Amino acid sequence: MGIALVEGVARYSYAALDSRIEALARGLLVEKDDLDRERVAVLMPAGRNYVTALHGIWRAGGIAVPLNVGATAPEFEYYLGKAGVTRVIASRQQLIATDPVCRRLGMEALEVNDLLGAGRRQQPLPTVERSRPAMIVFTSGTTSKPKGAVITHKAIHTQVTTLIKAWRWTRKDSIPLFLPLHHLHGLINVLSCALWCGATVHAFPKLDVARLCEQAGSGAFSVFMAVPTVYVKLMEHIESLAAQQRKAVCREFGRMRLNVSGSAACPVRVFERWKQLTGQALLERYGATETGMTISNPYDGERRAGFVGQVLPGVEAQLFDDNHRPVRNDATPGEIRIRSGGVFQGYWDDERANRASFHDGWFRTGDIAVVEDGYYRILGRSSIDIIKSGGYKLSALEIEGVLLDHEAIRETAVIGLPDATWGEIVAAAVTLKHGASLDLAGLKEWCAGRISGYKVPRRLKVMRDLPRNAMGKVVKTALRDLL
């Protein structure tokens, strides 16, 4: 069997990975027959241990809760509590960072190595039906705190097999993995699709544009997937290279069989510049944590800049108006709603959110689109309180909730502002308490340790009053124009 993972100079075969996964599953089970929906958190960067932990939990019948390695202690505590996690599997570095929280919650925190030898070799592994939940993935939304999307094995199976077919994955493929593994883009589209079909994953602990270009330039990859921000960063780097090196990197990106962009809108200028540099027409696709990928530009055929493409096989998509009526005319904007075997089961322990998110069996994405000749074009979101920065979905309300704890801040309104690199950046408008003062550097420093780096405001506007309507509600559109 071939190589499943490349991590630095180490290469791991599928067979070696498989026996490690079984050993970990047995280490988790010890005397039990089945973890039976026990929630086990996974907290580590891409690599052999991540795959061992994720699949080990699955084989033992547990529910994996992949978490952000950059989460702060309060965020971490929220995720563990909300999902009812009982054990955490972490890398050494994460173990040290999260130990105080785990101790406080009386939770067992382990490294992969602690579990590998802990089970009995003859211990049978349970049969895990596809209808069972496989993981809880936290996603921000229109509520202040992130919600845990429960995704079954069946939904993962549907999502992965759909993409393998649509994008022609084969075992000959090799792909770099540098996106975070607590979201579907890295976890399903890159890691799971590759491992499903016997391809090779090159794991990077984080985005390292220089190393990526070096390896891409030596022909190491056949497929590349990233958020638009990564393509912007890659192009900046490529343009800074000496002529010969630049030529080699561009040539090798051009020789790959597929470059995909998603998780946020790919600006037309990024599509065009990438094509100019490498000759590759980026394949833009659309999806969400709750649905997996649902709309994609074609593998063969026209890839339209500024469009997310056509509905994937096996997926039903329909535009709806504000009164839950299907939009009959494709040129009329409507909310994209989805039905498919890839859709999640519901939010963990959140009946209110479940009621609000489904209507007549359709999942409401909150994204507004039009359709032209079968190609979807995203116009925006139904809520201004959702910000997409570098492919991360952020809740303005969650950030506002944290900022209000600042001793100088009386009121705040958080919005996303357009940005050429990040898509949007987080901006906070605040009014201050009497006699208080605040600057951006001070605010950033205060936020560290409270919210993940990517949620921290990059702009601060201190105002005498926030713009409000006659009802006293902050008018965020007016604020956006002001900023």
363-382 footprint of ligand AMP as x/- string (CB under 6 A): --x-x----------x--x-
Give the DSSP H/E element, type plus range, for residue 27.
Answer: helix 14-29
7 token code pair: 């991590």
DSSP 124-135: PPPP--TTSEEE
Rounded Cα distance between 101 and 122, Å, is 35
Contact 381, 367 (CB under 8 A): yes
Distance between CA atoms of 372 and 378, rounded to whole angstroms? 11
Smallest distance, ligand MLC to C-beta of residue 12, A: 23
Contact string (CB under 6 A) for ligand MLC, positions 245-264, x = contact: -----------------xx-
**Residue 383: both structure tokens together:** 């809520």
Distance from C-alpha of 74 to C-alpha of 82, rounded to nearest angstrom: 12
Rank residues 174 and 263 by Cβ distance to ligand MLC and give the closer one: 263
Map residue 398 onto helix, strand or coil: helix
Chain centroid to CA 437: 36
Residues 419-458 that bind ligand MLC (CB under 6 A): 422, 453-454
Q: Which amino acid, one-letter code, is at 60?
A: A
Backbone φ and ψ of 380, nearest 5° = 160, -165
Q: Rounded CA gap, 72 and 374, in Å?
A: 43
Neighbours of 97 (CB within 10 A): 18
Site for ligand MLC, residues 392 to 411, rule: CB under 6 A = 392
Q: What are phi and psi of 338, to 5 degrees?
A: -125, 140
Encoding tokens for residue 230?
């990564």
String marking each residue 263-282 x if it binds ligand AMP according to CB under 6 A: xxx-----------------
Query: Which entry of ligand MLC, ligand AMP, none binds 292, CB below 5 to 8 A by partner kind?
Result: none
Site for ligand MLC in 270-299 (CB under 6 A): 287-289
Give 464's strand partners: none
Does the footprint of ligand AMP cover residue 294 (CB under 6 A)? Answer: no
Q: Give the CB-side neighbour count of residue 229, counting CA atoms within 13 A.
A: 18
Give the nearer residue to ligand MLC in terms of CB position, either 229 or 278: 229
Among 159, 259, 289, 357, binds ligand AMP (CB under 6 A): 289
Site track 227-246 with ligand MLC (rule: CB under 6 A), x = hit: x-xx----------------
Q: Which of 27, 45, 62, 180 is close enough to bind ligand MLC by CB under 6 A?
A: 180
378 interacts with, out of ligand MLC, ligand AMP, none, CB within 5 to 8 A per kind: ligand AMP
Any alpha helices (H) in 307-379, and if so which ranges? Answer: 351-357
Q: Which is nearer to ligand MLC, 186 or 267 (CB)?
A: 186
Q: Nearest distance from residue 183's CB to ligand AMP, in Å? A: 6
Q: Which stretch binds ligand AMP (CB under 6 A): 209-217, 286-294, 369-377, 433-441?
A: 286-294
Minimum distance of ligand MLC from residue 182's CB (angstroms): 8
Q: Taking the complex as a whole, how short is the minimal distance between the CB of residue 73 and ligand AMP, in angstroms? A: 23
CB of 291 to ligand MLC, least distance (A): 9
Q: Can you say whether residue 132 is alpha, beta or left, with left for phi > 0 and alpha for psi between -120 and 50 degrees?
A: beta
Site for ligand MLC, rule CB under 6 A: 179-180, 183-186, 206-207, 227, 229-230, 262-263, 287-289, 389-392, 422, 453-454
Residues that bind ligand AMP (CB under 6 A): 139, 183, 262-265, 284, 286-289, 308, 365, 367, 378, 381, 388, 393
